[in-house]
Amino acid sequence: MYDSIKQKGKRKRLVEKLVSKGIRDKRVLEAILNIPRHFFMDKDFHDYAYDDKAFPISNNQTISQPYTVAFQTQSLDINPGDKVLEIGTGSGYQTSILIYMKSRVYTLERIFDLHRMAKTTLSKLKMHPEKIKWSDGYLGLSENAPFDKILVTAGCPNIPTELLNQLSINGKMIIPVGLDDQEMCLVKKLGNNDYSKKNLGKFNFVPMLKDKI
Ligand code: SAH
């Protein structure tokens, strides 16, 4: 797989589109400009990789829409060195954006097939998460907690207590909450058992499901 001038041009236009939709974080835009999203997608979709749309990946899952990736990442205010837990590795695209932004990423995926493919794609791009694990994200990753940031990329019926527990004080979590469509919720941990919550609008995600398969 290779990255062509044509693909780079399309990425530049995608970035312009994201700016027009309100994405302001320069480091998020820089990451989207530089990461070849088509590497994370099936060959059949390569021509459309820089449309601002979600696309199917295997096992009935999706690679999130670039706007959604940009919005969630921007909301977390990612700084270099931040310890970030991602729930739902999927294709690995969101993971690569976080790594490009020099955060230390721990990413969990419940479907073995996707976990394995994302691992291969990321290593081809020489992008190395701190940990990439086949496991149920509802449990979080207690052995590496606490995390500065938690990014959930699947729709969750409610905010799992286990994930709140694994957030550091002053840490932030972005999580789509709801069944059919979701309200994007930004949670800040102010102290043990003290949180602030802000709703940031409607989005559409595949569901967060229990147990690894
Ligand atoms: N971040 C991904 C988005 C993938 S869609 C990307 O950029 O491509 C959401 C992913 O969450 C799917 O791969 C799905 O299998 C996974 N998922 C759903 N429930 C989960 C759970 N309990 N633990 C871990 N991953 C989960």
Mean pLDDT of the region 96-115? 98
Residues with CB under 6 A from ligand 1: 61-64, 87-88, 90-91, 93-94, 108-111, 114, 136-138, 153-154, 206, 208-209
Tell me the CA–centroid distance for residue 88 and ligand 1, in Å.
3
The pair of structure tokens assigned to 190 is 């102010």
CATH ID of 5-204, from 3.40.50.2300, 3.40.50.150, 3.40.47.10, 3.90.1010.10: 3.40.50.150
pLDDT band at 94 (very low <50, low <70, confident <90, very high): very high
Which residue is closest in CA terms to ligand 1's atom 26?
Answer: 88
Closest to 63 in 3D by CA, of 46, 47, 41: 41
Cα-Cα-Cα-Cα dihedral sign, residues 182, 186, 189, 194: negative
Q: What is the DSSP code string of 116-144?
A: HHHHHHHHHTT---SEEEES-GGG--GGG
> Does the pLDDT of residue 1 top 80, yes or no?
no
Specify the pLDDT at position 79.
98
> Does the pLDDT of residue 2 top 90, yes or no?
no
Q: Is the pTM of this model over 0.95?
A: yes
Average pLDDT value for the chain? 97
pLDDT band at 211 (very low <50, low <70, confident <90, very high): very high
Specify the pLDDT at position 77.
98
pLDDT in tens, 30-88: 999 999 999 999 999 999 999 999 999 999 999 999 999 999 999 999 999 999 999 99
Q: H or E stretch including 11? A: helix 5-20
Known catalytic residues are 64
Tell me the CA–centroid distance for residue 85 and ligand 1, in Å.
13
Tell me the CA–centroid distance for residue 33 and ligand 1, in Å.
23
Index of the ligand 1 atom closest to the CA of residue 154 = 9
> Does the pLDDT of residue 178 top 80, yes or no?
yes
